[in-house]
């Protein structure tokens, strides 16, 4: 006897045409009188979904980290190969009709920015992975709890800072290719397009910044941030008088100072008017991201300066130090800009309905 199975009322309503990630098909799923099956315990769905969402947010940050790295590697190879004009400070490649573009300061700035973001992102990502291991497997309950809090604090930074950096880095690396960057054949424009969604899905980067500032920092009176601040304080105390470390420790201490002032000020303002938090959150996350990266860049420099670092290892790490110093120096004025935006407050945004009419 034939057995008829009725099809459930759920089907694909059409494949979306997207700006990027063409290797992954996105579709609308239409539900018409569909029958669902409950997964897990009743009324625990949102909590379960956030376990998935937090993992996905770390994953999306890592997607951008990969794009930052591959864009950098391609741009570096191109900059060594492509010849165009002469170096401002005198001919560098005498055997060639022009110098490779890597001699030009601005090309180097673009490459070093991408490289520093890739290195900082890698360190942050590895640190989060270690914290996740501790959260899940450490025998001591307090260590598990502390590690979980650290991952919770850093998750919106991984998601938003790494994906915004991916936007900056893939665009800079495309720029290194000049006109070739815009042409599909070289593959650079694809990195820019593929990265763009990372700033949007799994909660836009604005939502991440509100999560960081509103929930994770002001929501618990800065307790988790203070824990990260303790790591920075310990490093500054340990290396504050080490001249070899000054170019990392001094800007890091300044960044930490900026962050403390920024947070305290926003805490007061946000208490009186929550729109102040909304107006400042995106800038705040950039400052926090640079502070976190500054800590990891300094930790890497500490390994180089340390006695136990082997010669070969030291050579590799020394080659990496320049880009991070550059970005730390650039981060300070950028953070002052972010602070200035914050100080301009929400009034200028919220009282200008006429301008948006």
* Shortest Å, Cβ 331 to ligand FAD: 24
- Whether 314 contacts 242, CB under 8 Å: no
C-beta of 241 vs 356, nearer to ligand FAD: 356
Q: Which stretch binds ligand FAD (CB under 6 A): 154-162, 180-188, 196-204, 297-305?
A: 196-204
C-beta of 215 vs 244, nearer to ligand FAD: 215
Chain residues 208-237 in contact with ligand FAD, contact rule CB under 6 A? none
273 binds ligand FAD (CB under 6 A): no
Q: Which of 12, 200, 246, 348 binds ligand FAD (CB under 6 A)?
A: 200
Residue with token string 């009322």? 9
Q: Which of 148, 187, 203, 345 binds ligand FAD (CB under 6 A)?
A: 203
* Shortest Å, Cβ 281 to ligand FAD: 8
280 binds ligand FAD (CB under 6 A): no
Please give the structure tokens belonging to residue 47: 């909590």
| Burial (Cβ within 10 Å: 0-12, 13-18, ≥19) of residue 2 | exposed
- Whether 294 contacts 284, CB under 8 Å: no
Q: Which of 73, 175, 206, 250 binds ligand FAD (CB under 6 A)?
A: 206
- How much of the chain is helix, strand and coil, in % rounded to 5? 75, 5, 20
Measured in whole angstroms, how far is the alpha carbon of residue 126 from the centre of its chain?
Answer: 13
Distances, alpha carbon 350 to alpha carbons 83, 259, 279, in Å: 50, 25, 9
C-beta of 73 vs 204, nearer to ligand FAD: 204
For residues 64-80, one letter each, b for 16 or more C-beta atoms within 10 angstroms of the residue's C-beta and e for the rest, the string is bbbbbbbbbebbbebbe
The Cα 260–Cα 281 span in angstroms is 15
Q: Which of 202, 238, 239, 265 is catalytic?
A: 202
Angle between helices 275-305 and 246-272 (to 10 degrees): 160
- Whether 237 contacts 313, CB under 8 Å: no
C-beta of 206 vs 320, nearer to ligand FAD: 206
C-beta of 126 vs 200, nearer to ligand FAD: 200
**3-class DSSP assignment, residue 246:** helix
| Burial (Cβ within 10 Å: 0-12, 13-18, ≥19) of residue 222 | middle
* Site map (CB under 6 A) of ligand FAD, residues 8-47, x = contact: ----------x-------x---------------------
Side-chain half-sphere exposure of 104, counting CA atoms within 13 A: 16
The Cα 138–Cα 223 span in angstroms is 22
Among 285, 271, 300, which residue's Cα sits nearest to residue 212? 285
* Shortest Å, Cβ 207 to ligand FAD: 6
- For ligand FAD, how many residues bind (rule: CB under 6 A)? 11
309 binds ligand FAD (CB under 6 A): no
207 binds ligand FAD (CB under 6 A): yes
Q: Which of 109, 175, 178, 201 binds ligand FAD (CB under 6 A)?
A: 201
* Shortest Å, Cβ 153 to ligand FAD: 20
* Shortest Å, Cβ 302 to ligand FAD: 37
C-beta of 278 vs 289, nearer to ligand FAD: 278
C-beta of 208 vs 263, nearer to ligand FAD: 208
197 binds ligand FAD (CB under 6 A): yes
Active site (annotated) includes residue 119: no
List contacts with ligand FAD (CB under 6 A). Answer: 18, 26, 197, 200-204, 206-207, 278
Q: Which residues are catalytic?
A: 202
């Amino acid at each position: 006897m034939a057995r008829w199975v009725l099809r459930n009322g759920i089907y694909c309503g059409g494949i979306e045409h997207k700006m990027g990630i063409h290797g992954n098909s996105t579709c609308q799923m239409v539900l018409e009188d569909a029958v669902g099956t409950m997964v897990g315990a009743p009324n625990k769905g949102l909590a379960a979904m956030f376990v998935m969402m937090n993992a996905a947010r770390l994953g999306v940050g890592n997607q951008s980290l990969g794009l930052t790295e591959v864009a950098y590697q391609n741009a570096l190879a191109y900059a060594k190969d492509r010849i165009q004009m002469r170096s401002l400070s005198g001919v560098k490649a005498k055997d060639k009709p022009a110098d490779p573009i890597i001699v030009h300061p601005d090309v180097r700035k673009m490459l070093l920015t991408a490289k520093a973001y890739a290195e900082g992102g890698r360190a942050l990502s590895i640190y989060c992975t270690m914290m996740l291991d501790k959260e899940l497997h450490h025998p001591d309950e307090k260590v598990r709890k502390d590690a979980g809090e650290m991952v919770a604090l850093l998750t919106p930074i991984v998601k938003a800072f790494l994906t915004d950096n991916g936007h900056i880095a893939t665009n800079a690396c495309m720029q290194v290719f000049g006109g070739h960057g815009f042409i599909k054949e070289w593959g650079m424009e694809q990195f820019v397009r593929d990265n763009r969604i990372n700033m949007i899905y799994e909660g836009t980067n604005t939502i991440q910044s509100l999560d960081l500032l509103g929930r994770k920092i002001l929501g618990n009176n800065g307790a988790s941030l203070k824990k990260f601040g303790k790591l920075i304080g310990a490093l500054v105390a340990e290396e504050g008088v080490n001249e070899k470390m000054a170019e990392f420790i001094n800007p890091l201490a300044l960044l930490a100072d900026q962050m403390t002032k920024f947070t305290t000020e926003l805490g007061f303002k946000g208490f009186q008017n929550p729109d102040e938090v909304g107006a400042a959150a995106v800038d705040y996350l950039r400052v926090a991201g640079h502070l976190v990266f500054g800590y990891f860049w300094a930790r890497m420099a500490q390994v180089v300066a340390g006695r136990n670092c082997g010669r070969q290892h030291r050579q590799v790490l020394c080659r990496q130090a320049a880009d991070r110093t550059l970005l730390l120096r650039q981060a300070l004025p950028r953070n002052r800009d972010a602070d200035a935006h914050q100080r301009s407050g929400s009034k200028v945004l919220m009282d200008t309905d006429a301008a948006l009419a």
